[in-house]
Copies of this chain bind each other. A is one copy, B any other.
Amino acid sequence: MTLKEIAAEAGVSPSTVSRIINSPDDSFARKEVRDRVWSIIQKHGYIPNQNARKLKLGQSGGTQTISGSLAVVLGRGENLDDNPFFAQVARAIEQEALSLSFPVSLSYSIFAAIKSTINANLPDIQTDGAIVLGRLTKPAIDLLARRHKTIVYVGRNILDVPWDQIICDGYEATQVAMKHLVNNGHKRVAYLGETENETRFTAYQNFVAMHGLDTDRSLICSCQHNGESGYTGAGKLLAAAHPIPTAVYCAADVIAIAALRRFREARIKIPQQLSLISIDNIELSGYVSPMLTTVGMPIIELGNIAVKTLIDRINKRHTIPMKIYLPNTLIRRESVATPHGYVEDYII
């Protein structure tokens, strides 16, 4: 079924049908004609061809708002299932776009699919704008920016780039977490998480150095941000670190949850013998025992801001690249305590 066929059956011209469909308030054409057209559309379950539509609309991209689709692309290793955090963000974006009754087709796509060079195979994904999440390199984002006409990047702070950025990479979050640990009297805190090119790790190292905490190499345990890796990582940490740390900083909640399990198996009491803190504040972190102390980002707001910024930019409401910082908040729960024998003397 095409618009033309509908028109023919209704005995009007294609343009009339098009206008009837697209007039925002139901005001176009005589009511009689309008009703006839709508009923024919209904009868056939006609749906306009979006490709044709976007093709045509793409041209008149003047005052026009977005013509149709918005993508969310995740960095390599940031998988929706490995780490629920990203699923939450994606969801928040989805919600927001919807609430603006914004014509949205949210599409996640993994980076691997499109990192191939242009001439290898010309890529398929193309939208009006994209929200890019995760640990990506500048050239990678550049490539994406070329494909999607405009992007906003959510993640670490990248200097001197022409896109909008929403900074929430965990540097500050790590500081908040570490500070909480130190304020509770910890001086020997281990690291469990990604170490390669990971802001949270850098932040940990800087913090440790700056505050004169213990720096044994054995306190650092590299693992990926998922349950399995966190579990085995926690085991390795236990084996390697002597003396045992009084606290461990996990770069993600999923790691912490799995580590919890591992420590329990080793009969280590959390938080009495070992404190645990992490980052993300995924839902489940509040439903394990002990409940995780973690530092969370305002995910809903993150979603809001990301899509608003994107739409704003597409509509050319702003043209210079913006950098927006989001606050981190400490969620005090049960997994952090004062180390045994600690005397309060050291508050940052």
Q: Which positions in A face B, CB cutoff 8 Å?
A: 21, 38, 41-42, 45-52, 54-55, 58, 68-69, 79-82, 84, 87-88, 90-91, 94, 98, 101, 103-110, 112-113, 118-119, 121-126, 146-147, 226-228, 230-231, 254, 257-258, 260-261, 264, 283-284, 286-289, 291
- The answer to whether A58 and B50 touch (CB under 8 A), given A108-B107, A287-B227, A288-B288, is no
For residue A226, which residues in chain B have a CB less than 8 angstroms away from its CB?
283
CB distance from A224 to the nearest CB of B (A): 12
Q: Which residues of B contact A288 (CB under 8 A)?
A: 257, 260-261, 288
Given the interface pairs A79-B91, A118-B42, A289-B261, the reply to whether A69 lies near B124 with Cβ below 8 Å is yes
Given A80-B87, A98-B110, A257-B284, residue A47 in contact with residue B289 (CB < 8 A): no
Chain B residue nearest to A55 (CB atoms) is: B51
Give CA–CA (A78, B147) in the complex, Å. Answer: 30
Residues of B within 8 A of A286 (CB): 227
Residues A38 and B81 in contact, CB atoms below 8 Å apart: no
Q: State the CA gap A133–B16 with chains docked (Å).
A: 38
Copies of this chain present: 2
* CB of A119, distance to nearest CB on chain B (Å): 6
Complex interface: chain B residues within 8 A of A264 (CB): 289
Chain B, residue nearest A231 (CB): B287
User: Which B residues touch A124, using CB under 8 A?
Assistant: 50, 68-69, 103-105
23 A-B residue pairs with CB within 8 Å: A38-B119, A42-B118, A48-B122, A49-B58, A49-B126, A50-B51, A51-B126, A69-B124, A80-B80, A81-B283, A82-B283, A84-B84, A84-B87, A98-B112, A101-B121, A105-B109, A106-B108, A106-B109, A106-B110, A227-B283, A227-B284, A231-B287, A258-B287
Q: Which 4 A-B pairs have the closest CB atoms?
A: A107-B107, A258-B287, A80-B87, A51-B55
Determine the chain B residues whose CB is within 8 A of the CB of A46 once the complex forms: 118
A54 nearest in chain B by CB position? B51
- Chain B proximity of A43: nearest CB distance (Å): 11
Docked pose: A104 CA to B114 CA in angstroms: 10
* Alpha-carbon separation in the docked complex, A108 to B70 (Å): 11
In the assembled complex, the Cα of A88 lies from the Cα of B254 at a distance in Å of 15
**Distance between Cα atoms of A257 and B258 in the complex (Å):** 13
Chain B residues within 8 Å of A230, by CB:
287
